[in-house]
């Protein structure tokens, strides 16, 4: 069907989410949600910079440096952290197209160690995993992630483990992914 | 005086600290201190990656990306954060060669806003400032930094304000800069 004035047809079924920008979807939803938390004064959670190893820098002028060669470093921490009611919050967010399990090569060894440090120091650490094809987004607390890794040699976490031990995040219009609602419940009520 | 075998004379007065690597001194002391806190299980506080704006990336092979052009971004958060007894800790560390004041152009506007967000969300935010020439290192809590900025139009914080409102960090052998000792006192005893 053609539309006037070059307007392209949007997905006409409003129940379906458009996954054209799949890789960015979860990150965008989380950034929007975190901005909502900041704007409403609920929490202050933000994305950390990507770790880079710089190998060559030019100084074309006194005040300006141009990085001429650098590499992405293996991350030693997670993507997001911040604070909620004075508590330290820390998490990594990942998407998978698998319908049956979450491949563990998505998370680096140092990131696991980081979440273990957070857990051991009484912080609130977790991973957020979106199963794109199932349209489900879970929070798996560091404690349950670590106990899975301790007891299993598997290279992926089965969906069943998420169904049993993780918490489904309700997707809404605003905020998009209200993950702190689940943290509230785990902390014993808002 | 010449020394044999090309050995250069070290500063013979042991009370003087060698500031040859001045820019790195405070950062190194803090990294060593934070590692000590991790090793002893006291706290988990770490340095965040430097924020970079990437403008050109080459992919010479499938798995390797080489950044060919990038720029240092103005930092929107602080250098260090982490957690201590479940509490969120966040700070920026700076050195100055001034003997009389700490120039505020050392701290970006976004970093002040960040510390304000930390303070408003019940986190423990502060700046650590070393006066190199005085051999003194202070903690100034976000609350006192923000109240100075609110009440003053000055471009620097006088040393007197640190003497009155900040806390002197004792320099020791291990850990080098035991700043959590001051946080303990402020939290009402360890």
The number of C-beta contacts closer than 8 angstroms across A and B is 107
Q: In what order do the strands lie in the sheet with B52-58?
A: A52-58, A66-72, B66-72, B52-58
**ipTM surpasses cut 0.90:** no
pLDDT tens digits along B162-185 = 999 999 999 998 999 999 999 999
CB contact under 8 A, B67 and A71: yes
The mean predicted confidence, pLDDT, of chain A is 86
pLDDT at res. A41: 93
Task: Provide the whole-model pTM.
Answer: 0.81
Tell me whether the omega of the peptide bond preceding residue B175 falls within 30 degrees of 0, making it cis. Answer: yes
Which residue(s) pair with A74 in the sheet? none
pLDDT at res. A123: 95
d(CA B125, CA B80): 10
Q: What token pair was written down for B16?
A: 């003087």
Interface test with B, best of A31, A45, A55, A70 (most B CBs within 10 A): A70
Residues 106-125 in B contacting A (C-alpha not used; CB under 8 Å)? 117-118, 120-123
DSSP string, A145-186: HHHHHHH---SEEEHHHHHHHSEEPPB-SSSSB-HHHHHHHH
Closest Cα in chain B to A120: B41
Tell me the pLDDT band of B17, cut-offs 50, 70 and 90: very low
Q: Which residues of chain A have pLDDT under 70?
A: 1-24, 62, 189-190
Q: Which residues contact B2 (CB under 8 A, 6 or more apart)?
A: none
d(CA A138, CA A170): 9
Coil vs helix vs strand at B78: coil
| Contact B43/A at CB under 8 A | yes
CB contact under 8 A, A86 and B87: yes
Q: Classify residue A19 by burial, with Cβ atoms within 10 Å: 0-12, 13-18, 19+.
A: middle
d(CA A115, CA A128): 13
pLDDT at res. A4: 41
Residues 57-76 in B contacting A (C-alpha not used; CB under 8 Å)? 64-73, 76
pLDDT at res. B19: 42
Tell me the pLDDT band of B6, cut-offs 50, 70 and 90: very low
The pLDDT of residue B15 is above 50: no
Query: By the 8 A CB rule, do B81 and B45 touch?
Result: yes
Residues 131-190 in B contacting A (C-alpha not used; CB under 8 Å)? none
- Write out chain B residues lying below 8 Å of A50, CB-based: 49, 52
pLDDT tens digits along B110-167 = 999 999 999 999 999 999 999 999 999 999 999 999 999 999 988 999 999 999 999 9
Identify the helix (H) or strand (E) that includes residue B87.
Answer: strand B87-96
The pLDDT of residue B189 is above 70: no
């Amino acid at each position: 069907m053609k539309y006037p004035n070059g307007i392209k047809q949007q997905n006409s079924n409003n129940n379906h989410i458009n996954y054209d920008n799949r890789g960015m979807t979860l990150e965008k939803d989380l950034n929007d949600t975190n901005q909502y938390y900041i704007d409403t004064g609920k929490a202050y959670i933000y994305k950390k910079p990507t770790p880079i190893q710089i190998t060559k820098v030019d100084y074309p002028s006194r005040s300006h440096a141009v990085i001429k060669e650098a590499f992405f470093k293996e991350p030693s921490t997670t993507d997001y952290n911040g604070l909620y009611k004075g508590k330290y919050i820390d998490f990594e967010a990942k998407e998978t197209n698998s319908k049956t399990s979450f491949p563990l090569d998505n998370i680096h060894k140092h990131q696991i160690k980081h979440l273990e440090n957070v857990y051991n120091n009484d912080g609130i650490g977790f991973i957020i995993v979106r199963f794109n094809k199932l349209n489900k987004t879970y929070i798996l607390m560091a404690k349950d992630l670590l106990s899975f890794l301790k007891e299993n040699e598997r290279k992926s976490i089965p969906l069943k483990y998420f169904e049993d031990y993780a918490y489904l995040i309700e997707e809404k219009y605003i905020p998009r992914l209200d993950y702190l609602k689940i943290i509230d419940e785990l902390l014993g009520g808002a």
